[in-house]
Amino acid sequence: MVTIRLPAALLTVFFLSTHSASGSYPRAQNVTWKSTNFKTILSWEPKPSADYSYTVEFSAVGANKQRNPHCIRSMVTVCDLSSSLTDLNAVYTADVLSEPPLGATSGLIEFPHTSSPRFCPYKDTDIGRPDFKLKVSEDKKKTTLYVTDPLTALFKDDRQLNIRDIFSHQLQYKVTYRKNKSTGKKVYISKTNEIELTDLDRGESYCFNIQAYIPSRIQNQLGDLSQTQCSNDDNQSIFEVYSVGVIGAAIFLILLLIGLIIAVTVVCCKRRKNALKSGKDGVPLRDV
């Protein structure tokens, strides 16, 4: 029996080519966290080809790695981990592994992976803008703002949690307000959802913005700014209340109505005059 011995260099080339053929996949890039109201998405690039897929592994620092069943051998570049990060105060990291597509195999023992930055849901999630309603008291001395806590992506006992459920007394609201059509601003911090403002000039229109404020955070203390709402101005002129188009249309309708009244009056007067004239012409002359 003849034994053929291949040179060591040829064996190395053969091994490397076999290793490459078994699947050497591109690493994920730009792995980032995006979280708003605890809706937490891990995203990365690039979109995979038909030759490979992505798997996400995550863990709290110092704990065992876990996998989300929806993010195994996936062909997309996002993974929703909102319900997986159960300890909101823990610090998490995630690895995005480049693996064979679902149903395929590979000779690789370890797959290329890219790690994410650290992420803590409680400290790092952004807070969305709140909704609120405003009410001015009858004596015009007090304006009250009623704030609705933004809902989160988290549930407990089949109930959707809002940010007050999570941050409790740590949650405050920052109110920024100004006189309508003025640039000067004032700020008021409230610990409750019912905010009373009494330092406003009576009868003036004020505009308000509200945002969540969590002073215990080092970063991301402020949430997104709400839409602006303004109170009514008792001293507003008609040109401030209504647009030029509305005022013009109202004037046109009034003039049209006046014209119709005049036209009807003229027609009625002519008919009456004609009727009187016809009556006189039809009376026979008396004998003298």
Model confidence at 18, pLDDT cuts 50, 70, 90, reads very low
pLDDT score, position 12: 37
Q: Which of 11-15, 232-236, 256-260 has the lowest mean pLDDT?
A: 11-15
pLDDT score, position 14: 36
- Structure tokens given for 83: 């319900």
What is the value of pTM for the model shown? 0.72
Query: With 60 as the cut, is the pLDDT of residue 250 above it?
Result: yes
Q: How far is CA 181 from CA 16, 133, 197, 230, 231, in A?
A: 72, 20, 19, 10, 12
Instruction: Residues 131-233: name the CATH superfamily.
Output: Immunoglobulins (2.60.40.10)
pLDDT score, position 247: 81
Instruction: Residues 25-121: name the CATH superfamily.
Output: Immunoglobulins (2.60.40.10)
Model confidence at 132, pLDDT cuts 50, 70, 90, reads very high
pLDDT score, position 238: 52
pLDDT score, position 208: 97
Which helix (DSSP H) or strand (DSSP E) does residue 245 occupy? helix 244-281
Taking only Cα atoms into account, the Rg of the chain, rounded to an integer number of angstroms, comes to 38
**Higher-pLDDT residue of 284, 12:** 284
> For the CA atoms of 99, 103, 106, 111, what is the dihedral angle to 10 degrees?
20
Residue 228, C-beta contacts closer than 8 angstroms, at least 6 positions apart:
207, 208, 209
Contact 109, 101 (CB under 8 A): no
Number of other CB atoms surrounding residue 157 within 10 Å: 5
pLDDT score, position 11: 38
Q: How far apart (Å, rounded) are the C-alpha atoms in residues 242 and 179?
A: 19
Q: How far apart (Å, rounded) are the C-alpha atoms in residues 17 and 250?
A: 84
pLDDT score, position 242: 61
Instruction: Give 27-34's long-range contacts (Cβ < 8 A, gap of 24+).
Output: 27/98, 27/112, 27/113, 27/114, 28/54, 28/77, 28/96, 28/98, 28/113, 28/114, 29/114, 31/94, 31/96, 31/114, 31/115, 31/116, 31/117, 32/116, 32/117, 33/116, 33/117, 33/119, 33/124
- At 18 the three-state DSSP class reads helix
pLDDT score, position 281: 60
pLDDT score, position 102: 87
Query: With 70 as the cut, is the pLDDT of residue 145 above it?
Result: yes
Query: With 50 as the cut, is the pLDDT of residue 288 above it?
Result: no
pLDDT digit string (tens) for 55-113? 999 999 999 999 999 999 999 999 999 999 999 999 999 999 999 998 887 777 789 99
pLDDT score, position 228: 95
pLDDT score, position 282: 56
Model confidence at 49, pLDDT cuts 50, 70, 90, reads very high
Contact 244, 237 (CB under 8 A): no
Q: How far apart (Å, rounded) are the C-alpha atoms in residues 41 and 78?
A: 7
Q: What is the rounded average pLDDT for all residues in the chain? A: 86
The residue type of 235 is N
Query: With 70 as the cut, is the pLDDT of residue 135 above it?
Result: yes
- pLDDT > 70: what percent of the chain? 84
Q: How far apart (Å, rounded) are the C-alpha atoms in residues 88 and 163?
A: 12
25-121 matches 131-233 in fold? yes
- At 89 the three-state DSSP class reads coil
pLDDT score, position 181: 85
Q: Which ranges of 168-243 does DSSP label H, i.e. alpha helix?
A: 238-241
Q: Where are the domains of the chain?
A: 25-121, 131-233
